[in-house]
Amino acid sequence: MEISNAEMKTEASLTFRFNNSKGVSPLISAVLLIAIALVVATIISGWVSGIATDQGKTVANKTEGITSCSAAGIAIEDVYLDTGTNISRVTVRNTGRSSATIISAQILSVTGVNGTLNTSLPLGIANGDIKILVFNTTGAVPNCPNFSQVRVSTECASDYYRQSPRNC
């Protein structure tokens, strides 16, 4: 097997180039390291900034909810039970310093049976206003001794009425 002159020159020039190369200059390597560090720092900084922004919004939302609930208050002022028509009327007053929305209301018998709420919820109630909730008590509270309590709740406050209702 004979090697031609051209092949020998190519092999020799390749050997010469690789054996005499000194690698990347220190200046270029320093510039590359700084560039890579800047790219990584930019990526990490964007990620951390995004997380901090999201957490800040979450804290702000929770703080807003807590402060708005600090001004909330409701009171059940009266419960009227009409066993003849199986209807009960519950008078609720917003005693807080802000508007509220009634989201839940129940009339319960001593055995834990719920009456049916005839008033549609959610029901807005302004500061100082009174709303009347109407319940159908058929099968739940057929007479006064079966009455246990009324519960009314807003997003932030609730009240219970455990006294004897009017008309009993």
pLDDT tens digits, residue range 92-127? 999 999 999 999 999 999 999 999 999 999 999 999
Domain-located, residue 125: yes
Residue 11's pLDDT is: 53
Is the same domain home to 42 and 93?
A: no
Of 68, 93, 123, which residue constitutes the final position of a domain? 68
- 8 Å CB contact between 135 and 91: no
Q: Where in the sequence is the domain holding 110, given as residue range(s)?
A: 74-161
- How confident is the model over 47-86, as pLDDT tens digits? 888 888 888 777 766 666 566 688 889 999 999 999 999 9
Q: Are 69 and 155 in contact (CB under 8 A)?
A: yes
Same domain for 81 and 19? Answer: no
One-letter amino acid for residue 99 of the chain:
S
User: Order of strands across the sheet with 158-161?
Assistant: 123-125, 100-109, 147-154, 158-161
Whether the predicted pLDDT of 162 surpasses 60: yes
Q: In the predicted model, is pLDDT for residue 18 greater than 60?
A: no
